[in-house]
Structure 1
Amino acid sequence: MSITQLSTEILQKIYEYAKIQDLLHLAQSSKRNYRIYLGRRTHLLEQAMHNSYSPLPDLYKLVLSSEPDKSRKPLGTEIRRNLIVNRLIETKAMPNLTVELLTKMATYGKIADRWTELYPQIRWRHNSNNRRLLRPDEQERLRGAIYRYWTYNTLFHDSTYTQFDPDFPRSQEDLRLRILRTYTSIELIQLTEYVDKMRQLIQIDLYPSYSVIRECYSEPVPPKTLVALGWGTGSFHLHLVYDLLKYDPADLLHLFDETSSKKERMEYLMAQGISFADRPATLKDSILMVLFERKVLLEADRKLSDEDIQYGIIDTVDKSKAGGDRGNARYAHDASSDGSFVDGHQVSLSLWLDETGEEDD
């Protein structure tokens, strides 16, 4: 039977399983299909966005964090940032999807979706026999971690913040801690895993140290070649990597897909401005502070494999080892609705925290 002979109800049901581009293309295939689409446009658009780029609440908050300030009042930077954080925390529901909002969400969503394709290559870098495509629920967790990472970088790793307040949080009222407290401990674990993989991407693929360059060759590497390809050694290189974690996912994707030489990546780094250099990213330390507040203990053990990480982005082989269903875990519901400090109950999670640097000569 041709699709043109299907009833309106069946076609609308098909639309509900489509991704955003497929939905729009199908709606444009005939006048009848377009009328059927218009009949439930809002519902179908929301469902298509969910199918393509979920979780939508985190994606919407990312869009809000990136919105320019439309107020004409002469507000100070700290006051303006506080207003944005309050708005993000107070946002509880998705608005109606206008064309303008849909376009903005799709822009970020496409980049996050591209990372779901690249992530297995990074995640199973040293264990390629187990490499596979991410399952739909894993893709959603990864996109959520990307949106949260991007929101934090947009708010707290911009040129103004890194220039005037580059230090780590010093009080419980810090805006960085407030926004992170609105996430559950499981979401923070997933965010930590994503940050760690982006650190590996920077450290090995984009801005490799001299030791990484040496490992690529079977013969000794001449000093000139090291300088031409590598980005330093020891603590200097480690500090560079943590500085570059201020790159947002779009920056990292551009560097991974569009650049191949040290010159190109140096030019991209210099274009970020003077304040970008020598200012470490604060996200991972802020996450650890929030988890410490909740008395969630992370077992830092470099002998753990990625498959041993509890409640990470990727499903563990044995879910019972991680306490069973993620949704029933007690630290899946410990977010603070208003970002305030909440004393937690001590629990222990296994997470691979590799804080070591290079030990080159």
Structure 2
Amino acid sequence: MAMQDLAPEIMVHIYESLSSVSDIISLSLTCRYFHELLPKAQKLVLFFAALDKEMGPLDDILQLLTQNDNQMLHVRRTPPLSFALLTQAAGVGRVAARFVGLYPGFRWTGPESVSRRFLDDVEARRLRRAVYRLWGYTQAFYGKSASSISRLARSDTSPAGERLPLLRSWSTEELYELEDLRCTLEQLLATEICPTDGDVWCRLPEEARHVPLSLQHTFASHVPTLQDVFYNSRDTLVVDRTKPSVQELRFKHMQGWGSDLQNFYVIQSFLKFSPAQILWLYDNAVSKADVEKFIQSQTYDPCFLESGSMLFADWVTVLLARGVDVQHAREAVWDGEAGIVLDG
């Protein structure tokens, strides 16, 4: 029996069983009958249900997309569903999906790399939830929507009346997930975007290590040529094997950001960026100049590097108020006893 001959009720059940937006679209485009079987309103509900399975939690995506200056951040919002909102939600979900792929490489490093593995569905959902919540936090307090809050106020305790209720609305286990993501982003930034002078020195060829620090960048970097980044379509098969990746170019060209202590404070400043902005840096920034231009274009703040994210301080404040031993909690996250991945 052809699928077109199945009863409409069975076809509806088939639609409801699909777990991704692309699957629903593919089935809908198979023929006119499948395309017109469901009204748009019903199909929209199915799209959002599939999005929740594939990129959810959907509710956290909607909280991120509906932030505004007229409502308290910790008050849950239930916007009307629309195809425009679906498009925005899918874009946010794709960013979180990239972090699901990147997480193992920065979560298990050094000797722990032998334990590296893909995340299962439950772990991936926890990670995406942490991404959406971190994104909402940075967007509210460091993004353009927070322009009315002065830069000095962000390092003060006065905005805590907005920040702390947001964190208090999440469970302790969900706060552990947030800290797990924050630590992983620190590792990503320290490794890829903001290496120390010592890290860059170790990357230099042996003959360059005796050169004064002020001249070492001539050995570590050069202006990338078009051949480094682009290629002619006629030579695709040849060049694809040899064309260096952004990470390989960055390994050669990125300059150091100072000592270990200086690097720590620089990373705390970068944690004011949203996950989408950090992902852009990971995918595109090759040199320190690239990163500095990005900071200027995104923040218009010449003092961006002088203040760090308040997320960790807020995290500590909320957990202490709940009677949680913060140091023990952080060790549990590092050891895989709490957070996104529960190794135990």
Q: Is TM (by shorter chain) over 0.5?
A: yes
Q: Do the aligned residues in 2 keep the contact of 1:122 with 1:197 (CA within 8 Å)?
A: yes
Q: Determine the C-alpha separation between the residues in 2 that align with 1:167 and 1:24.
A: 47
Q: Which residue of 2 aligns with 1:153?
A: 138
Q: Do the aligned residues in 1 keep the contact of 2:333 with 2:339 (CA within 8 Å)?
A: no
**Over residues 243-286 of structure 1, what are the superposed CA-to-partner deviations in whole Å (9 max), with x where a residue is unaligned?**
11111111111111122222211211222222423111111110
Distance 1:279 1:302, change over 3 A: closer
Q: TM-score, normalised by structure 2?
A: 0.78
Matching residue within 305, 309, 312 for 1:281: 309
Distance 1:11 1:117, change over 3 A: farther
1:239 aligns with 2:265: yes
Aligned residue identity for 2:270: L
Q: Do the aligned residues in 1 keep the contact of 2:138 with 2:273 (CA within 8 Å)?
A: yes
How far apart are residue 128 of structure 1 and its match? 2.5
1:238-257 aligned at under 5 Å gives the runs 238-257=264-283
Q: Determine the C-alpha separation between the residues in 2 that align with 1:296 and 1:175.
A: 22
**Over residues 186-238 of structure 1, what are the superposed CA-to-partner deviations in whole Å (9 max), with x where a residue is unaligned?**
11110011011111111111111112223335736342225862111132222
Distance 1:162 1:55, change over 3 A: farther
Q: Do the aligned residues in 1 keep the contact of 2:197 with 2:256 (CA within 8 Å)?
A: yes
1:67-106 aligned at under 5 Å gives the runs 80=69, 83-84=70-71, 86=72, 88-91=73-76, 94-106=78-90
Q: Do the aligned residues in 1 keep the contact of 2:272 with 2:309 (CA within 8 Å)?
A: yes
Q: Determine the C-alpha separation between the residues in 2 that align with 1:305 and 1:45.
A: 34
The Cα RMSD (Å) is 2.6
Distance 1:312 1:305, change over 3 A: closer
How far apart are residue 5 of structure 1 and its match? 5.0
Q: Which residue of 2 aligns with 1:12?
A: 12
* 2:327 match: secondary structure: strand
Gap regions ≥5 residues in structure 2: 222-254
Distance 1:12 1:125, change over 3 A: farther
Q: Do the aligned residues in 2 keep the contact of 1:168 with 1:285 (CA within 8 Å)?
A: no
Q: Determine the C-alpha separation between the residues in 1 that align with 2:114 and 2:120.
A: 17
Matching residue within 167, 178, 182 for 2:155: 167
How far apart are residue 4 of structure 1 and its match? 4.3
Q: Determine the C-alpha separation between the residues in 1 that align with 2:139 and 2:156.
A: 16
Q: Determine the C-alpha separation between the residues in 2 that align with 1:162 and 1:216.
A: 40
Higher helix share: 2
* 1:299 match: secondary structure: helix
Aligned residue identity for 1:165: A
Q: Do the aligned residues in 2 keep the contact of 1:193 with 1:313 (CA within 8 Å)?
A: yes
Q: Which residue of 1 aligns with 2:195?
A: 208
Q: Determine the C-alpha separation between the residues in 2 that align with 1:213 and 1:312.
A: 31
Q: Which residue of 1 aligns with 2:239?
A: none
Q: Determine the C-alpha separation between the residues in 1 that align with 2:314 and 2:129.
A: 18
Q: Do the aligned residues in 2 keep the contact of 1:45 with 1:97 (CA within 8 Å)?
A: no
Q: Do the aligned residues in 1 keep the contact of 2:269 with 2:307 (CA within 8 Å)?
A: yes
1:183 aligns with 2:185: no
1:190-205 aligned at under 5 Å gives the runs 190-205=177-192
Q: Do the aligned residues in 2 keep the contact of 1:209 with 1:232 (CA within 8 Å)?
A: yes
Q: Do the aligned residues in 1 keep the contact of 2:193 with 2:281 (CA within 8 Å)?
A: yes
Q: Determine the C-alpha separation between the residues in 1 that align with 2:142 and 2:50.
A: 32
Q: Do the aligned residues in 1 keep the contact of 2:66 with 2:79 (CA within 8 Å)?
A: no
How far apart are residue 45 of structure 1 and its match? 1.8
Gap regions ≥5 residues in structure 1: 68-79, 319-361
- State the number of aligned residues: 297
Q: Determine the C-alpha separation between the residues in 2 that align with 1:27 and 1:200.
A: 43
Aligned residue identity for 1:137: V
1:117 aligns with 2:101: yes
Q: Do the aligned residues in 2 keep the contact of 1:162 with 1:279 (CA within 8 Å)?
A: no
Distance 1:162 1:245, change over 3 A: farther
1:261 aligns with 2:246: no
Aligned residue identity for 2:64: L
Q: Determine the C-alpha separation between the residues in 1 that align with 2:105 and 2:9.
A: 41
* 2:30 match: secondary structure: coil
Q: TM-score, normalised by structure 1?
A: 0.74
How far apart are residue 174 of structure 1 and its match? 1.4
Q: Which residue of 2 aligns with 1:63?
A: 65
Q: Determine the C-alpha separation between the residues in 2 that align with 1:301 and 1:115.
A: 23
Identity among equivalent pairs (%): 26
